[in-house]
């Protein structure tokens, strides 16, 4: 993918261009849409995940001939004939991989879970890693131009359902689960894959597909590396990982993603935002994005919306009223105008992790540099986001998004007063959860936020129908808040954490008992219970939901086994 710039002198509005393969497959997807319409079963991503049997020139020629001979209105029969003759099915370029470090019951597995039934469940969840394990078929490496799947060099764990490639932030919770399962080599191979993306593209992609090269996702690579090192003490692994983290830090701190805000005391703070290098429909949802933009009349408004859609996907929160000026209108997405709390916490964590890993490798000046960066960001997060009255960190809305070089002047009214789970994410990190005064305020803030539900923490209070809004509660977000509260050192915050985790686990366990398998989305009436994104999935569960179940069981055990008296 080539990078081109709208203004030669600035990378402020950098965009990437689709490859010829992506352009062809988008045409293929659109034709399918014109035949099958907006039925529930029409998944545009499926049309981008096929691979070519012959080279693109011949395939395109055959496709164009079919369109010409039918005056553009293709019958199902002709379409299917073309598909079968020229394309391989989505997913056929991945092969099953038996993870070498998988054991039916690893030594020392969840020793704190004593209940026989719950251990059975935990072992079932553990065994799902086998079903989600894949490697890229050799033919992808031999002929990468025929595939949207990127030729990752190592075995991987996919989320499941329609997500048959590696995803960036999902991988963090997959790795947390793999570590509970003692599958250290599988965990490392996921990291090595993500590093290979940094080597090739300069950043970790949203996912391992050619259509995801225009954006990243919440940056949790350093957290994955830290967790693996913490269990394995593998210095060779850290040595290989550190240069990639330094490169990733640069990606997040170049013009598009960087924002300078002057606080009410006149101090300038550098923070970050999501900003995709794209102003076209996301290829994997092209028909949907075009439909969303169809209400807009001029081309530049459409381009603006497309960038906002892709930037929201970079946030991992696609979609939520969190990013919308008008909560009932997706075309008012304004993600690039928001300085998000969670992104800045992830980057602060990246800076702390780099400092720690560099110190471990004896690279003291790098360690010093990143420690200073994390301290500056901690000050910035308090000045710009912290709202003492609410006990929450609030996203900051910029008045002008695209003016990259501008210094924005902080105004209290620009803190978004709406409540989202992300307003509590900073408590995940020790810089914030080691301060008891903050933890007490955060607990009160969470208690009165309205987000605490029967089955966990809801992501927002607005019932908009968007994936990341009420009543859904996302496993990964809950995990970070709960883990931060549990590790703060205060007994009452640990008890609060345990209460939330147990409610969430019990809902998952009930679903397992009812259906005999792990699930992704049990039932929306269980507010806070959704794992994130899909429907009930037999045999695989969903990658990060499985990871959170195992991580929670390790941290808290099961109610009847608990040792803490709350
Ligand atoms: O197909 C549309 C979108 O799908 C992905 O987003 C959702 O699933 C991901 C995998 O579990 C998850 O990481 C993300 O948070 C979900 O919103 C993809 O990441 C999007 O970029 C894509 O457009």
Q: Give the pLDDT confidence score for residue 511 in this predicted structure.
A: 77
Q: Atom 16 of ligand 1 has which residue's CA nearest to it? A: 316
Q: Atom 15 of ligand 1 has which residue's CA nearest to it? A: 316
Indicate if 318 belongs to the active site. Answer: yes
Domain extent at residue 447:
424-566
DSSP for residue 420: B
- As for ligand 1, residues whose beta carbon falls within 6 Å of it are 45, 159, 163, 167, 169-170, 206-207, 282, 284-285, 313, 316, 318, 533
Centroid of ligand 1 to alpha carbon of 280 (angstroms): 17
Please name the helix (run of DSSP H) or strand (run of DSSP E) that holds residue 398, with its range, or none.
none
Q: Does residue 537 form part of some domain?
A: yes
Q: Does residue 316 form part of some domain?
A: no
Same domain for 541 and 446: yes
Q: What is the ipTM of this complex?
A: 0.95
Q: Does residue 547 form part of some domain?
A: yes
What is the rounded CA–CA span in Å between residue 109 and residue 127?
A: 12
Q: Does residue 373 form part of some domain?
A: no
Q: Give the pLDDT confidence score for residue 530 in this predicted structure.
A: 65
The dihedral over CA atoms of 177, 183, 188, 190, expressed in degrees to the nearest 10, equals -60
Q: Give the pLDDT confidence score for residue 5 in this predicted structure.
A: 30
Q: Does residue 228 form part of some domain?
A: yes
Same domain for 61 and 168: no
**By the 8 A CB rule, do 323 and 317 touch?**
yes
What is the rounded CA–CA span in Å between residue 519 and residue 492?
A: 31
Helices (H), 181-220: 184-201
Cα angle value 411/415/421 (rounded, 5°)? 165
Q: Does residue 203 form part of some domain?
A: yes
Closest atom, ligand 1, to C-alpha of 215? 21
Q: Given ligand 1 and candidates 283, 313, 343, which is best to mutate, with the most ligand atoms within 8 Å of its CB?
A: 313
Same domain for 460 and 553: yes
Q: Atom 7 of ligand 1 has which residue's CA nearest to it? A: 533
Tell which residue, 482, 440, 474, 441, has the closest CA to residue 458: 474
Same domain for 195 and 78: no
pTM above 0.80, yes or no: yes
Tens of pLDDT along the chain (566 residues) come to 333 333 333 456 778 999 999 999 999 999 999 999 888 789 999 999 999 999 999 999 999 999 888 777 899 999 999 999 999 999 999 999 999 999 999 999 999 999 999 999 999 999 999 999 999 999 999 999 999 999 999 999 999 989 999 999 999 999 999 999 999 999 999 999 999 999 999 999 999 999 999 999 999 999 999 999 999 999 999 999 999 999 999 999 987 999 999 999 999 999 999 999 999 999 999 999 999 999 999 999 999 999 999 999 999 999 999 999 999 999 999 999 999 999 999 999 999 999 999 999 999 999 999 999 999 999 999 999 999 999 999 999 998 655 566 899 999 999 999 999 999 999 999 999 999 999 999 999 999 999 999 889 999 999 999 989 988 889 999 999 999 999 999 999 999 999 999 988 888 888 778 777 665 555 545 778 765 433 447 788 889 999 999 999 999 999 777 666 77
**By the 8 A CB rule, do 133 and 190 touch?**
no
Centroid of ligand 1 to alpha carbon of 368 (angstroms): 36
Closest atom, ligand 1, to C-alpha of 313? 21
Q: Does residue 243 form part of some domain?
A: no
Cα angle value 214/218/224 (rounded, 5°)? 120
Which one from 26, 318, 353, 554 is the annotated catalytic residue? 318
DSSP for residue 133: E
Residue with tokens 């991988």: 171
Same domain for 109 and 76: no
Q: Given ligand 1 and candidates 46, 167, 215, 535, which is best to mutate, with the most ligand atoms within 8 Å of its CB?
A: 167
Same domain for 459 and 566: yes
What is the rounded CA–CA span in Å between residue 329 and residue 324?
A: 7
Centroid of ligand 1 to alpha carbon of 313 (angstroms): 7
Q: What are phi and psi of 467, to 5 degrees?
A: -50, -40
Structure tokens at 202: 């300069």
Residue with tokens 């949802």: 285
Structural domains counted in the chain: 3
Same domain for 499 and 558: yes
Same domain for 152 and 38: no
Centroid of ligand 1 to alpha carbon of 95 (angstroms): 22
Domain-terminating residue out of 234, 269, 302: 234
Residue with tokens 């001029």: 298
Q: Does residue 350 form part of some domain?
A: no
What does the DSSP assignment read for 515-552? HSS--S---TTSTT---SS----TTT--HHHHHHHHHH
**By the 8 A CB rule, do 5 and 13 touch?**
yes
Same domain for 229 and 132: yes
Q: Given ligand 1 and candidates 29, 217, 316, 342, which is best to mutate, with the most ligand atoms within 8 Å of its CB?
A: 316
Same domain for 537 and 472: yes
> How many Cα atoms occupy the beta-carbon half-sphere of 311 within 13 Å?
32
Q: Atom 20 of ligand 1 has which residue's CA nearest to it? A: 313
What is the rounded CA–CA span in Å between residue 520 and residue 546?
A: 9
Q: Atom 2 of ligand 1 has which residue's CA nearest to it? A: 285
Closest atom, ligand 1, to C-alpha of 542? 11
Which one from 165, 520, 554, 555 is the annotated catalytic residue? 520
Same domain for 541 and 477: yes
What is the rounded CA–CA span in Å between residue 381 and residue 218?
A: 17
CA dist 250 → 49, 202, 245 (Å):
31, 9, 9
Same domain for 68 and 121: no
What is the rounded CA–CA span in Å between residue 410 and residue 425?
A: 22
Domain-terminating residue out of 218, 234, 250: 234
What is the CA 473 to chain-centroid distance, rounded? 15
Centroid of ligand 1 to alpha carbon of 316 (angstroms): 6
Rounded to the nearest 10 degrees, the angle between the axes of helix 341-360 and helix 235-252 is 140
Centroid of ligand 1 to alpha carbon of 401 (angstroms): 24
Q: Is 421 exposed, middle or buried (0-12, 13-18, 19+ CB in 10 A)?
A: buried
Indicate if 520 belongs to the active site. Answer: yes
Centroid of ligand 1 to alpha carbon of 532 (angstroms): 9
Q: Give the pLDDT confidence score for residue 12 in this predicted structure.
A: 66
Q: Give the pLDDT confidence score for residue 496 in this predicted structure.
A: 97
Structure tokens at 385: 């986001």
Centroid of ligand 1 to alpha carbon of 519 (angstroms): 18
């Amino acid at each position: 993918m080539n990078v081109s710039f709208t203004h030669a002198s600035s990378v402020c509005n950098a965009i990437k261009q689709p490859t010829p393969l992506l352009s062809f497959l988008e045409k293929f997807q659109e034709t399918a849409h014109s035949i099958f319409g907006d039925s529930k079963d029409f998944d545009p991503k499926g049309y981008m995940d096929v691979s070519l049997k012959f080279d693109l020139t011949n395939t395109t020629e055959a496709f164009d001939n079919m369109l010409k001979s039918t005056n553009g209105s293709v019958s199902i029969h002709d379409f299917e004939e073309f598909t079968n003759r020229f394309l391989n099915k989505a997913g056929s370029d991945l092969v099953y991989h038996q993870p070498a470090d998988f054991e039916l019951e690893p030594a020392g597995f969840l020793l704190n879970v004593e209940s026989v039934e719950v251990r059975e469940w935990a072992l079932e969840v553990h065994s799902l890693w086998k079903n989600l394990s894949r490697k890229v078929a050799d033919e992808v490496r031999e002929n990468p131009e025929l595939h949207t799947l990127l030729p990752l060099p190592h075995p991987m764990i996919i989320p499941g359902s329609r997500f048959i490639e590696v995803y960036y932030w999902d991988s963090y919770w997959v790795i947390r689960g793999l570590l509970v399962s003692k599958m250290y080599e599988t965990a490392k191979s996921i990291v090595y894959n993500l590093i290979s993306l940094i080597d090739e593209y300069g950043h970790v992609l949203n996912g391992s597909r050619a259509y995801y090269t225009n954006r990243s996702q919440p940056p949790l690579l350093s957290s994955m590396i830290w967790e693996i090192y913490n269990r394995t003490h593998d210095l060779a692994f850290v040595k290989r990982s550190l240069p990639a983290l330094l490169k990733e830090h640069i990606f997040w701190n170049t013009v598009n993603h960087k924002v300078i805000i002057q606080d009410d005391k006149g101090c300038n703070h550098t923070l970050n935002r999501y900003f995709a290098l794209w102003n076209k429909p996301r290829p994997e949802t092209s028909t949907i994005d075009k439909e969303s933009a169809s209400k807009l009349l001029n081309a530049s408004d459409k381009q603006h919306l497309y960038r906002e859609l892709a930037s929201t996907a970079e946030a991992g929160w696609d979609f939520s009223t969190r990013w919308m000026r008008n909560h009932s209108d997706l075309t008012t997405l304004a993600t690039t105008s928001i300085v998000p709390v969670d992104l800045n916490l992830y980057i602060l964590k990246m800076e702390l992790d780099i400092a720690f890993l560099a110190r471990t490798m004896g690279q003291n000046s790098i360690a010093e540099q990143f420690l200073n960066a994390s301290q500056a960001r901690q000050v910035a997060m308090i000045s710009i986001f912290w709202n003492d009255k609410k006990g929450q960190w609030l996203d900051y809305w910029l008045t002008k998004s695209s003016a990259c070089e501008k210094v924005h002047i902080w105004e209290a009214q620009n803190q978004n007063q709406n409540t989202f789970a992300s307003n509590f994410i900073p408590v995940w990190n020790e810089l914030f959860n080691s301060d008891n005064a903050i933890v007490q305020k955060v607990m009160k803030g969470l208690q009165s936020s309205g987000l605490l539900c029967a089955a966990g923490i809801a992501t927002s209070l607005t019932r908009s129908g968007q994936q990341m809004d009420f009543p859904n509660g996302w496993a990964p977000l809950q995990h970070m808040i709960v883990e931060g509260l549990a590790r703060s050192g205060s007994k009452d915050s640990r008890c609060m954490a345990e209460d939330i985790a147990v409610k969430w686990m019990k809902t998952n366990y009930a679903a397992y008992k009812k259906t005999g398998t792990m699930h992704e989305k049990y039932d929306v009436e269980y507010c806070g219970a959704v794992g994130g994104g899909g429907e009930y999935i037999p045999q695989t569960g969903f990658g990060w939901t499985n990871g959170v179940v195992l991580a929670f069981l390790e941290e808290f055990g099961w109610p009847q086994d608990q040792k803490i008296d709350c």
